[in-house]
């Protein structure tokens, strides 16, 4: 089996629904995704074998969002501001610890 290309691959939903239903972009998802990407770069993690931050279309967690998911762990987070994004980057992506307060699936 080949090695993983990224240690953590993070997908941020940046979807904006045209029909008015709740969507992640209503809560500034694109700006916070850019902030996450900048933080990861700043910390020197944006390299092969490191961390990749990507935009995604709807991840089907719309009512629980804004949503992002970290793979390969499959850990789902919500976030509302830069402080939340900083915690996801610092605690999960740097230290490998799940940020329990931001989990979508808390059980
Ligand atoms: S709009 Fe973001 S999960 Fe559906």
Say if ligand 1 is within 6 A of residue 29 CB.
no
Say if ligand 1 is within 6 A of residue 56 CB.
no
Where along the chain do its domains lie?
Answer: 8-98
Say if ligand 1 is within 6 A of residue 62 CB.
yes
Say if ligand 1 is within 6 A of residue 67 CB.
yes
The DSSP secondary structure of the chain, one letter per residue, reads -PPPS-SEEEEEE----TTS---GGGGTHHHHHHHHHHHHHHTT--STTSEEEEEES--S-GGG-SEEEEETTTEEEE--SHHHHHHIIIIIIIT----GGGBS---
Domain 8-98 belongs to what topology? Glutaredoxin (3.40.30)
Q: Please provide the average confidence, as pLDDT, over all residues in the chain.
A: 94
- pLDDT band (50, 70, 90) for residue 41: very high
Supply the pTM of this predicted model: 0.93
* C-alpha of residue 59 to centroid of ligand 1, in Å: 5
């Amino acid at each position: 089996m080949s090695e993983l290309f990224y240690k953590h691959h993070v997908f941020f939903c940046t979807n904006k629904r045209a029909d008015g239903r709740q969507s992640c972009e209503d809560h500034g998802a694109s700006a916070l995704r850019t902030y996450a990407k900048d933080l990861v770069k700043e910390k020197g993690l944006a390299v092969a074998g490191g961390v990749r931050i990507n935009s995604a279309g709807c991840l089907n967690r719309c009512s629980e969002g804004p949503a992002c998911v970290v793979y390969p762990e499959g850990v789902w987070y919500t976030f509302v501001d830069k402080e939340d994004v900083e915690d996801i980057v610092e605690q999960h992506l740097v230290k490998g610890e799940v940020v329990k307060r931001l989990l979508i699936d808390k059980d």
